[in-house]
Amino acid sequence: MRNAVQTHRITAAQFVIVLALAGIAYANGDVRKDLHFKVGKRPMITIDNPYGAVVVRAGAAHEVVVTAILHSDKVEVDQSQSHNRIEIISHLLSGADVNTGAVQYEVLVPADTNLTVHSDNGRVHAEKLHGDLSLDGSNAAMEVVDCGGGHVHVKTLNGPVNLVNLHDGHVEVMSMGGDVMLNGVSGPLVNINSNSGKILYTGDFAGDGEYDFTSHTGDIEAIAPAYASIDVFARSNQGRVDSDFSLEPKHSSLYTRGGSALVGTMGKAASAVKLVSFSGKIHLKKRQN
């Protein structure tokens, strides 16, 4: 295995080209760094970038291509490879802050990559991957799009989490204040644990799965089609629970110690849906059309 490193000072002309290619805006004086690695099947890649975006997409098999834009000399990119493991770390030097320590990454990886990304406040975006994904951040916006087969674990303090079209893997998200939006997410296990962030699910609860959404004060809203096949338990200790669906059987007297609850099934109850909040509002909505 080998890797090649190219570092050069960006000129004004190159700036325009790179801007167009990478879609990343950066100022004159920024430094671009390109890294190439050869890898085997299911490589494991870790990217640790306190400030700045990390965008990871599926590229060619057996090859990892990293483009890093460094915003100042207060930060360096450290990289290491051991067999199938690669680590990319934005190394903050003395005096680096949220602006001068920022690095923007565009990364192409084999689709079966097991990916780990840490970021404080940059956007983290993973797309079209089917390995395991583990993303954590403080205020970073987390997006995972069109992924399947692997497990997706996301931890965030206050950054929004947006998961779109995920299937066949375990999805586990923990958020303090960040809203968690799930669109077309299905699988054997979808577990969302939020504090004050809202949980918004739009999908059909497919996959004979287990969907556990819990919040402290955040509202939980799930929008499902009329044909959804689910066994539902929904309860808010101090908030309100509403459902557009007619669930069977009805247990109006259930779980209503001071709050609100509903229990029941729709269709063949293939998936178990648990919506639990301490004081957030819960609404199981019927998808129109």
Partner 1 sequence: MTGARRAQGDKLTETEAIERAKQGDGEAFKVLYDLHKRRVYSLCLRMTGNTASAEDLTQEAFLQLFRKISTFRGESAFSTWLHRMSVNVVLMQLRKKGLPIVPLDEATEGEEEGQVKKEPGAPDERLAGSIDRLHLQRAVDELPPGYRTIFVLHDVEGYEHNEIADLVGCSIGNSKSQLHKARIKLRELLRMNRAEKAGKR
Partner 2 sequence: MNCGEFERVLPEFLEGEHTREQQAHFDSCSACANLRADLDFISSQAKLLVASEEPRPAVWDALEARLRDEGLIRLPEFVTPKVSIFSRWRTAWLVPVAAALVIAAGIKLYHPAGAGDPAPISKQHGSNPTVAAVAPVSHEDQVLLNTVATRVPAQRARYRADLESANSFIQDAEQSIKDDPNDIYTQQMLINAYAQKQMLYDLAVDRSEQ
Contact set with partner 2 (CB under 8 A): 42, 44, 48, 50, 92, 97-98, 114, 116, 118, 120, 132, 134, 136-139, 149-151, 155, 157-158, 169-170, 174, 176-177, 188, 193, 195-196, 214, 216-217, 233, 235, 237-238, 257, 274, 276, 278-279
Does 252 bind partner 1 (CB under 8 A)? Our answer is no
Chain-centroid distance of CA 96 in Å reads 27
Question: Quick one: what does residue 120 bind among partner 1, partner 2, none, with the CB cut-off 5 to 8 Å set by partner type?
Answer: partner 2
Tell me whether strands 124-127 and 220-224 are parallel, antiparallel or unpaired: unpaired
**For the chain, how are helix, strand and coil distributed in percent, rounded to 5?**
5, 55, 45
> Which residue lies nearer to partner 1 by CB, 159 or 169?
169
Tell me whether strands 31-38 and 63-70 are parallel, antiparallel or unpaired: antiparallel
Nearest approach, Cβ of residue 11 and partner 2 (Å): 31
> Which residue lies nearer to partner 1 by CB, 92 or 176?
176
Does 188 bind partner 1 (CB under 8 A)? Our answer is yes
Does 176 bind partner 1 (CB under 8 A)? Our answer is no
Find the helix or strand (DSSP H, E) in which 14 lies. Answer: helix 12-22
Tell me whether strands 54-58 and 124-127 are parallel, antiparallel or unpaired: parallel
> Which residue lies nearer to partner 2 by CB, 10 or 214?
214
- Contact at 8 Å (CB) between 213 and 201? yes
Does 272 bind partner 1 (CB under 8 A)? Our answer is yes
Question: Quick one: what does residue 116 bind among partner 2, partner 1, none, with the CB cut-off 5 to 8 Å set by partner type?
Answer: partner 2
CA distances from 11 to 14, 33, 73, 105, 268 (A): 5, 14, 16, 19, 63
Count Cα neighbours of 171 within 13 Å in the Cβ-side half-sphere: 35
Q: Which two tokens stand for residue 9?
A: 């000072």
Q: Which two tokens stand for residue 178?
A: 């960040």
> Which residue lies nearer to partner 2 by CB, 10 or 118?
118
Report residue 16: phi and psi, to 5°.
-65, -45
CA distances from 230 to 168, 196, 263, 272 (A): 17, 26, 11, 6
Question: Quick one: what does residue 44 bind among partner 2, partner 1, none, with the CB cut-off 5 to 8 Å set by partner type?
Answer: partner 2
> Which residue lies nearer to partner 2 by CB, 184 or 259?
259
Question: Quick one: what does residue 97 bind among partner 2, partner 1, none, with the CB cut-off 5 to 8 Å set by partner type?
Answer: partner 2
Residue in 44, 65, 108, 263 binding partner 1, rule: CB under 8 A: 263
- Count CB neighbours of 9 within 10 A: 10
CA distances from 252 to 67, 109, 155, 262, 264 (A): 57, 52, 36, 7, 10
Nearest approach, Cβ of residue 21 and partner 2 (Å): 30
Sole window of 13-21, 29-37, 103-111, 248-256 interacting with partner 1 (rule: CB under 8 A) = 248-256
> Which residue lies nearer to partner 2 by CB, 10 or 152?
152
Sole window of 18-26, 30-38, 48-56, 183-191 interacting with partner 1 (rule: CB under 8 A) = 183-191
Residues of this chain that bind partner 1 (CB under 8 A): 170, 172, 188-189, 191, 210, 231, 249, 251, 253-255, 263, 265, 268-269, 272
